[in-house]
Amino acid sequence: MRSSARSDASSRAQTLPSTPTSSPRRTPTSEFIAECFMRRAYLTGFTGSAGTAVVTKDKAALWTDGRYFLQAEKELTHEWTLMRSGNHGVPTTSEWLNDVLPSGCRVGIDPFLFSFDAAEELKDSISNKNHELVLVRGMNLVDEIWGDARPEPPKEPTRVHDIKYAGIDVPSKLSFIRSHLTENGCDAVVISMLDEVAWLLNMRGSDVPHSPVFYSYLIVEVSTATLFVDSNKVSEDVLEHLEKAGVKLKPYEAIVSEVERLAEKGAKLWLDSSSVNAAIITAFKSSCDKHMKKKGKAGEKVEKEAYSDEPTGVENGALNAVYNVSPVTLAKSVKNEAEIEGMKNSHLRDAAALAEFWCWLEDEVCKSVPLTEVQVAEKLLEFRKKQDGFIETSFDTISGYGANGAVIHYRPTPEDCSSVGSDNLFLLDSGAQYIDGTTDITRTVHFGEPSPRQKECFTRVLQGHIALDQAVFPERTPGFVLDVLARSSLWKIGLDYRHGTGHGVGAALNVHEGPQSISYRYGNLTALQKGMIVSNEPGYYEDNSFGIRIENLLLIKELNLANSFGGISYLGFERLTFVPIQSKLIDVSLLSPSEINWVNDYHEEVWDKVSPLLSGDTRDWLWKNTRPILDVTHRYSHAQDIA
Amino acid sequence: MRSSARSDASSRAQTLPSTPTSSPRRTPTSEFIAECFMRRAYLTGFTGSAGTAVVTKDKAALWTDGRYFLQAEKELTHEWTLMRSGNHGVPTTSEWLNDVLPSGCRVGIDPFLFSFDAAEELKDSISNKNHELVLVRGMNLVDEIWGDARPEPPKEPTRVHDIKYAGIDVPSKLSFIRSHLTENGCDAVVISMLDEVAWLLNMRGSDVPHSPVFYSYLIVEVSTATLFVDSNKVSEDVLEHLEKAGVKLKPYEAIVSEVERLAEKGAKLWLDSSSVNAAIITAFKSSCDKHMKKKGKAGEKVEKEAYSDEPTGVENGALNAVYNVSPVTLAKSVKNEAEIEGMKNSHLRDAAALAEFWCWLEDEVCKSVPLTEVQVAEKLLEFRKKQDGFIETSFDTISGYGANGAVIHYRPTPEDCSSVGSDNLFLLDSGAQYIDGTTDITRTVHFGEPSPRQKECFTRVLQGHIALDQAVFPERTPGFVLDVLARSSLWKIGLDYRHGTGHGVGAALNVHEGPQSISYRYGNLTALQKGMIVSNEPGYYEDNSFGIRIENLLLIKELNLANSFGGISYLGFERLTFVPIQSKLIDVSLLSPSEINWVNDYHEEVWDKVSPLLSGDTRDWLWKNTRPILDVTHRYSHAQDIA
């Protein structure tokens, strides 16, 4: 699945009420959220995944980005002004607030829905017009309107993620975190990212669509650990699992008072202010202030500029905290052997489901059976459900025929979608959550005769895909260095795509995870490391015409090369995804011999790995779709004939 | 010529006395300097191009980087401690000062030899131990010791750079700069980079080896311009040229008093604090302070944190200045048509000289005539001297046989150099200044039988060279994005090189210029632009064994492609350098058909462009050395035979 589509959603900075950002009662920084947290959709009618709603006494405006302009135009009523973020002359939310409000207003946010950093940024930017940022505690204004009609928060049971898939037990993971605490002179860390809690505790849940996580917080102290979760979600099994690891339970809502208690004790906290919400961090700071004032003690060295509702006064909350990225983030991204094994196995089963699906779809379309994009996605789900360990989809399937394929974030609805035919390209980006792994794959096919233009574009995308797949790079290389490899074949004819090339993927966890990425944006300096998983998904989108994307998941591995200049490791990729790439769409004359070999080798590998899981028509389909394309010898001897 | 070798020299930050950084009496930020400014060499004996000498009452230490460890070990006497910069555990100069000096010392620098930014950085870093940075004005401590033995400053005459080579006349260039001044609300700009003065005034000089520049400053005001230069260097011709453009002359030494006069007038200055020296900027600031105190007027908005010798007090120097990169830097880097024409023409003459040279050398080595690396470089100079418009070399020739080729910054001396034979690789990196252009080329050859290892490495370097040469990229792409293209073929077998891939080149000016570069360092975000010139010089160096580098200069041009996704321009390269690449060193089996075509097309172009300038043996040599390598058809039909 396209990386930037979702990663944009998690980087929204200045947002107001209904956008989920951080945690409790309420919502954590997640790409997918439970219905009761879909406050922006309830308030505005706009159902896109990224946006910001701002309401003043006489105005209401909604910001969203280019992926959603058309959808927002359709869904918003006339009371709302649509702000097309990124378009020339369109103000940011804070610029707009500074413009429409008279100087010295009070701007409210729900502090559980903003990370501390995002709240700080908003506070700073509106202070230019002397506006004050007010953290509205104890109530959410949208919920007040929503009232009884608001859905209940999810109460889904959690489960233990088996050690055979998790690979490392909870006590070992906790000691790892504790060694980090000690190294940094901290007494405790607050973990608020749901996938980090799930990874650290070898637990999974289903509070949220597509991600096997559950609403919770975790505080790890040097000798204890406390999970803040609705106890109804915790079965006997899970309880025993937690007890064994020395993890206590407290109610979900107790997080703030617990943080205040730590402040009173004088504990030094590790806080990732980019993910922990403003409610928790400001509560900690105020509590430190109160406590320190009582003790009249001057603080230690300030780690980061202090935050305070009152700009003057002692700011001891800053003195008792280390603001740093969560110690779980990198650890989670580097997969252990069991996680890798689970990812490999689940990808093979997923490949079997996809082979059945593509075989079926090709047949249906050839027989001219009318099928909508939604029906096709539903059928794919049926095939996946038959696979062992299937849980759910890992994101909303992007099933786009023809021009719909060019809408990068397209999501068909039963009321408004196309039929899949044989006159144009069909782009299908989908993934699944299995008990042992998470998948994400895109293929683009044509069931009739592709145009030379479509073949040229597809082949250029494929060349980019191959170039990245085959890349070898020294350790400590950030992902953005490799991005150009996926684009240069398109650039040669003046084409490009407006999204990143690769995102991290969790092991039986979120389909998008950091910290690594492969993107044309140069901001992410995280080095690609052995054991990380990334997607490889270059594309090309011709507006109102067609879309192309080819996506596999890749595992980063250390290579054993003839040399190792500089005495360092050289890394490369191992493919996890094994589904045929439609040969019909390849213009072989554009490929180099080594690119032709790549396609043939990949298809041979697909056949070898997936055919044992198939039988009958599907096996025949796989055989047909993994035959070598025009081979090198043939091609050049032909060139000789005509020379 | 290797970019990082020299660009490192201009980025040395915390240096002390003898290192040239900025300007008068004294020296500007230049990679090459006049003998009278070689104070570090005089004081320490170390003659490398990059280094920092620090002397305390009882210690003396010299910092240099990995390129010079061996040379410094040889050249330094035992009084000096060699500090191997970049090695584990080696302190920076300021760390060392903070370590060896008791708290609260005074550390002196010559403020004409430090850019303002470099002085600021040093001041900040030693303030941790309460050391004070003292700007020693009116004398240079090394010169005091040097005394009468110190060489005279250069007095070489300047000349007008003909409009047929410069392309744009001085009044037009001055209006361009003035429009920038007006846009930024400035009254004047101080230009202290020698190549910027030369470019802006269409003048050239020869105060410094290899660079056609002259010691000077330029102040451009909205209605006047003043060149600060030794008037003995200005002939009648030049004087007339300057008068026509409304440029007045003042003595070189008058720069500081002129800047003080501008401060008194209340003028707002544009200052590039990364290149303008600390003496000028602090003089301006102090003068502003004095003037403002007199007037008792509060300042405007502060553009940048203020600098002051006294940490307290009104700092109006900051209020009356805009600190920004010089408005000349980018303008100079984007070549106009006449400059491009001159670069192309001079490259063809240079290619003719190189063809004569290589033809001669091959013959001599085959006849086993003993020739040292220095003799070979001298002979090359002879061939170049015969070409029209030749002025001098554009840098010290790197002539390295065998293991010497692996010393990236190797410079042979008559007393200590190898003979060039037929048992190993010979790397030759050289360039010339012509009246109409500047060249820089590296070729690596073998006069006997290269080993398979050498061929493999050479071919990988060539593949990187070809990949960068053939790159197409959207406008606004910074150079570092393309760097990986030049490395990925080496990375595939675990090899790499420890220098950048490309640097900017001046038109009949400095062989290294900014602001663009193509490097694995990600700091330089300057976009590559149409009209810029860059080198393409991947390499590979096997310690104690051999070195390989293949370097051409490339002009960035706009391409007319079938598409232009995003409605933007796509850019690519046009080669300026036309000298054969030794086919003997290519392992054709590693090349793709398109790489083979590149080599054949390049050699065809070399023959077409350069053969008309040659005759006799040299023409025969060029013919032999531009024949197609094993062609594609042949290769693959052979593959078919054995299949």
CA closest to A631 among chain B residues: B640
Give kind and range of the element (H or E) at residue B171: helix B170-183
List pLDDT tens digits, range A31-81.
789 999 999 999 999 998 889 999 999 999 999 988 788 889 999 999 999
Amino acid identity, position A17: P
What integer pLDDT is reported at residue A343 of this predicted model? 98
A522 and B478: CB-CB below 8 Å? yes
Of A484, A561, A636, the CB nearest to B636: A636
Q: What does the pLDDT average to over A346-354?
A: 98
- pLDDT given at position B29: 53
pLDDT at A410: 85
Nearest to B528 by CA among B499, B550, B557, B493: B557
B593 at interface of A, judged by CB pairs closer than 8 A: yes
Q: Given CB atoms, is A254 within the 8 Å cutoff of chain B?
A: no
- Residue B316's pLDDT band (cuts 50, 70, 90): low
How many Cβ pairs within 8 Å bridge chains A and B?
Answer: 110
User: Chain A residue closest to B639 (CA)?
Assistant: A633
pLDDT of residue A522: 87
Angle (deg, nearest 10), helices B593-610 and B452-469: 80
Contact B52, B19 (CB under 8 A): yes
Report the distance separating Cα A631 and Cα A624, nearest Å. Answer: 16
- Cβ of residue A562 closer than 8 Å to a chain B Cβ: yes
In this prediction, residue B50 carries a pLDDT of 87
Q: How far apart are CA A267 and CA A264, in angstroms?
A: 8
| pLDDT of B282 over the 80 cut | yes
How much is the average pLDDT of B74-85? 94
DSSP summary character for residue B478? B
Identify the band that residue A481 occupies on the pLDDT scale cut at 50, 70 and 90.
Answer: very high
The whole-number average pLDDT for the span B78-86 is 94
The alpha carbons of chain A give a radius of gyration, in whole angstroms, of 26
Cβ neighbours around A157 below 10 Å, total: 14
Indicate the residue of B491, B520, B522 with minimum beta-carbon distance to A522.
B522
Omega prior to B311 cis, within 30 of 0? no
Average the pLDDT over each of B226-240, B572-586, B625-639 and give the range with the smallest value.
Answer: B625-639
Is residue B195 a contact partner of residue B332, using CB atoms and an 8 Å limit? yes
Query: A488 to chain B: which residues are within 8 Å by CB?
Result: 471-473, 485
Q: How many CB atoms lie within 10 A of CB A308?
A: 16
Q: Among A149-163, A339-353, B315-329, name the one with the lowest average pLDDT.
A: B315-329
Mutation test of the interface with chain A: which of B476, B492, B524, choosing the one with the most A Cβ atoms within 10 A? B492
Q: Give which of A343, A392, A325, A328 is closest to A506, Cα–Cα.
A: A343
Nearest to A561 among B493, B570, B593 (CB): B493
Q: Round the average pLDDT of chain B to a whole number and report it.
A: 90
Sequence-separated (6 or more) residues with CB below 8 Å from residue A195: A211, A213, A332, A506, A509, A510, A513
Q: How far is A67 from chain B (nearest CA, A)?
A: 15
Q: What is the Cα–Cα distance from A450 to B140, expressed in whole angstroms?
A: 76
Distance CA A603, CA A628 (A): 7
Q: Which residue has the higher pLDDT, B316 or A550?
A: A550
In tens, the pLDDT along A131-182 reads 999 999 989 999 999 999 999 999 999 999 999 999 999 999 999 999 999 9
Q: What is the average pLDDT across B82-94?
A: 93
Band (A630; pLDDT cuts 50, 70, 90): confident
Q: Pick from A493, A498, A640: which is nearest to B633 by CB?
A: A640
Question: Residue B15 above 60 pLDDT?
Answer: no
Collapse the DSSP code of B507 into the 3-class scheme (helix H, G, I; strand E, B; otherwise coil) and give the result: coil
Do residue B633 and residue A635 have CB atoms under 8 angstroms apart? Answer: no
CB–CB contact B565 A494 (8 Å): yes
* Residues composing chain B: 643
Backbone angles phi, psi at A507, to 5 degrees: -95, 110
Give DSSP secondary structure letters for A159-207: EE--HHHH-S-HHHHHHHHHHHHHHTT-SEEEE--HHHHHHHTTEE--S
Interchain contact, B496 vs A561, CB within 8 Å: no
Give residue-wise pLDDT tens across range B462-513.
999 999 999 999 999 999 999 999 999 999 999 999 999 999 999 999 999 9
Determine the 3-state secondary structure of A548 from DSSP: strand
Q: b vs e for A197-228, b when ≥16 Cβ sit within 10 Å of the residue's Cβ?
A: bbbbbbbbbbbbebbbbbbbbbbbbeeebbbb
Closest CA to A320 of A282, A266, A273, A281: A266
* Mean pLDDT, range B327-347, rounded to an integer: 98
Q: What is the mean pLDDT of residues A287-306?
A: 60
Poorest-confidence range of A305-314, A495-504, B270-279, B548-557?
Answer: A305-314
Inform me whether the C-beta atom of residue B628 falls under 8 Å from chain A C-beta atoms: no
- pTM recorded for the entire structure: 0.90
Alpha-carbon distance B191 to B376, whole Å?
Answer: 39
Chain-chain contact of B494 with A561 (C-beta, under 8 angstroms): yes
Neighbours of A367 (CB within 10 A): 7
User: What is the per-residue pLDDT for B318?
Assistant: 66
Inter-chain CB proximity A522 and B637 less than 8 Å = no
What integer pLDDT is reported at residue A635 of this predicted model?
47
Answer positive or negative: Cα dihedral of B512, B513, B518, B522: positive
| Distance in Å, alpha carbon of B366 to nearest chain A alpha carbon | 33
Is residue A6 pLDDT above 90, yes or no? no
Report CA-CA distances (Å) from B396 to A229, B48, B239, B512. 71, 12, 32, 13
**Segment A549-566 mean pLDDT:** 97
**B561 Cα to chain A: minimum distance (Å):** 6
Alpha-carbon separation of residue B170 from A582, B180, B271, B379 (angstroms): 61, 15, 21, 38
Is A633–B636 a contact, with Cβ atoms under 8 angstroms apart?
yes
Query: Cβ of A472 and B488 within 8 Å?
Result: yes
Q: Tell whether the model's pLDDT for residue B636 goes beyond 60.
A: no
Alpha helix locations (H) across B194-277? 194-200, 236-244, 255-265
Residue, of A315 and A150, whose pLDDT is higher: A150
Q: Select from A472, A477, A541, A559 the residue whose CB has the most chain B CBs within 10 Å, as the one to mutate to test that interface.
A: A472
Angle formed by the axes of helices A337-366 and A593-610, nearest 10°: 100
- Pairing state of beta strands A390-393 and A432-434? antiparallel
Instruction: Tell me, letter by letter, the H, E, C secondary structure of A341-409.
Output: HHHHHHHHHHHHHHHHHHHHHHHHHHCCCCCEHHHHHHHHHHHHHCCCCEEEECCCCEEEEHHHHHCCC
pLDDT > 70? residue B353: yes
pLDDT above 90 for B10? no
Question: Which pLDDT does position A13 carry in this prediction?
Answer: 27
The single residue listed with the structure tokens 């009254």 is B187
Give the span between the Cα atoms of B203 and B547, in whole angstroms.
Answer: 38
Confidence of residue B6 (pLDDT cuts 50, 70, 90): very low
The span from the CA of B460 to the CA of B486, in Å, is: 9
Are residues A210 and A32 in contact, defined by beta-carbon separation less than 8 angstroms? Answer: yes
| pLDDT reading at A101 higher than 80 | yes
Cα(B166)–Cα(B170) distance, integer angstroms: 9
Cβ distance A633 to B633 less than 8 Å, yes or no, reads no
| Residue A241: per-residue pLDDT | 98
Asked whether the predicted pLDDT for residue A639 surpasses 70, the reply is no
Q: What average pLDDT does the segment A330-349 reach?
A: 98
Which amino acid, one-letter code, is at A44?
T
* pLDDT the model gives residue B635: 47
Task: Give residue B76's pLDDT.
Answer: 95
Other beta carbons within 10 angstroms of residue A274's beta carbon come to 19
pLDDT, one tens digit per residue, over A106-129 is 999 999 999 999 999 999 999 989
In this structure, the dihedral spanned by the alpha carbons of residues B110, B115, B118 and B119, taken in order and rounded to 10 degrees, is 40
The answer for A477, left when phi > 0, alpha when psi is -120 to 50, beta otherwise, is beta
- pLDDT of the residue at B640: 41
B494/A633 CB distance under 8 A: no
Name which of A44, A40, A51 is nearest A14 in CA terms. A51
For chain A, percent helix, then strand, then coil, each to nearest 5? Answer: 40, 20, 40
How high does pLDDT run on average in chain A?
90
Interface residue A312 vs chain B (CB under 8 A): no
Q: A495, B563: Cβ pair inside 8 Å?
A: yes
Q: Cβ A639–B636 below 8 Å, yes or no?
A: yes
Q: Which residues pair with B549 in a beta bridge?
A: B539
Q: Do A482 and B482 touch (CB under 8 A)?
A: no
Q: Which of residues 464-523 of B touch A (CB under 8 A)?
A: 471-474, 478, 481-485, 488, 490-496, 498, 520, 522
> What pLDDT does B306 receive?
36
The phi, psi pair for B44, rounded to 5°, reads -105, -25
Structure tokens belonging to residue B486? 């030049």
B296: left (phi over 0), alpha (psi -120 to 50) or beta: left
Q: What is the pLDDT of residue A5?
A: 36
pLDDT value at B206 more than 90: yes
Q: Which residues contact A524 (CB under 8 A, 6 or more apart)?
A: A478, A479, A480, A515, A516, A517
